[in-house]
Amino acid sequence: DSGVTQTPKHLITATGQRVTLRCSPRSGDLSVYWYQQSLDQGLQFLIQYYNGEERAKGNILERFSAQQFPDLHSELNLSSLELGDSALYFCASSPVYRITNTGELFFGEGSRLTVL
Amino acid sequence: DAKTTQPNSMESNEEEPVHLPCNHSTISGTDYIHWYRQLPSQGPEYVIHGLTSNVNNRMASLAIAEDRKSSTLILHRATLRDAAVYYCILQSNFGNEKLTFGTGTRLTIIP
């Protein structure tokens, strides 16, 4: 158990809909990262927040948005869903802003989104 | 981000050592070498990381070539639980914070 909690674990919805994925980082971790893992794209970095502020952005679509709240939990909002958005969405946390020296990101078990 | 090259898949017998190679010929002096693994139906899990010197921890050892253009993750005694996809990742000390995962090596452990 990494200490990172993601909900829901599974979600099935229809095209055009909107969903919200939630992540609770490990206690005390200030950084939250979101990754998308699909069969054809592998693990893709989406976005990082540190203490409530956006710090790095990856290949995140404009239909997707995220935020980190004062209690440090984070939400990833996916709207106008398409079939291709079906994937595993992982949240990871770290106690620091720069992980280079510590090396360690702690990943949750993911939220599996299926768009029909 | 500098790229890494790993074999798509490897097999090893249970209770034997496993050497997982990674080539990173374009590595820069400030790039750290990270290894993560992803067990079936789980999120990635940190294994080990290093810069220049070999590193050991309770999970594995990381052997880094003298020119740093390659590294090897060593599992000293493989168990069935070590069956996973292993990712070798470079991250610059001065870059942004994301870890860029490649396709990794799928390790199969034979009982």
- Conformation bin of residue A8: beta by default, left when phi > 0, alpha when psi is -120 to 50: beta
Number of H helices, E strands in chain B: 0, 9
Predicted local confidence at residue B6, as pLDDT: 96
Look-up of token digits 């090596």: B105
Predicted local confidence at residue B2, as pLDDT: 64
- The DSSP letter of residue A29 is -
The count of other CB atoms within 10 Å of the CB of residue B104 is: 26
The mean predicted confidence, pLDDT, of chain B is 91
Q: Who contacts B19 (Cβ-Cβ below 8 Å, separation ≥6)?
A: B72, B73, B74
Output the CA angle B54-B58-B64, nearest 5 degrees: 15
The mean-pLDDT minimum among A3-7, A53-57, A72-76, B89-93 falls in: B89-93
Give yes or no for a contact between B49 and B32, defined as CB atoms under 8 angstroms apart.
Answer: yes
Question: From the list B32, B34, B43, which residue is nearest A108 (CB)?
Answer: B43
Share of chain B above pLDDT 70, in %: 94
CA distance B88 to B73: 9
pLDDT band at residue B93 using 50, 70 and 90 as cut-offs: low
Question: From the list A58, A98, A109, which residue is nearest B43 (CB)?
Answer: A109
Predicted local confidence at residue A99, as pLDDT: 67
pLDDT in tens, B21-64: 999 999 988 888 999 999 998 999 999 999 999 999 999 999 99
Alpha-carbon gap: A66 to the closest alpha carbon of chain B (Å)? 16
Contact flag A56-B96 (C-beta cutoff 8 Å): yes
Give yes or no for a contact between A68 and A49, defined as CB atoms under 8 angstroms apart.
Answer: yes
The dihedral through the CA atoms of B11, B17, B23, B28 has a sign that is: positive
Alpha-carbon gap: B3 to the closest alpha carbon of chain A (Å)? 15
pLDDT in tens, B98-107: 788 888 999 9
pLDDT in tens, A65-112: 999 999 999 999 999 999 999 999 999 999 877 766 666 899 999 999
The count of other CB atoms within 10 Å of the CB of residue A74 is: 25
**A25 in contact with chain B, both atoms CB, cutoff 8 A:** no
- The DSSP letter of residue A26 is P
Residue B107 belongs to what H/E stretch? strand B105-110
Predicted local confidence at residue B47, as pLDDT: 95
**A55 in contact with chain B, both atoms CB, cutoff 8 A:** yes
- Tokens read off for A22: 């939630």
CA distance A14 to A54: 29
- Tokens read off for A10: 């599974």
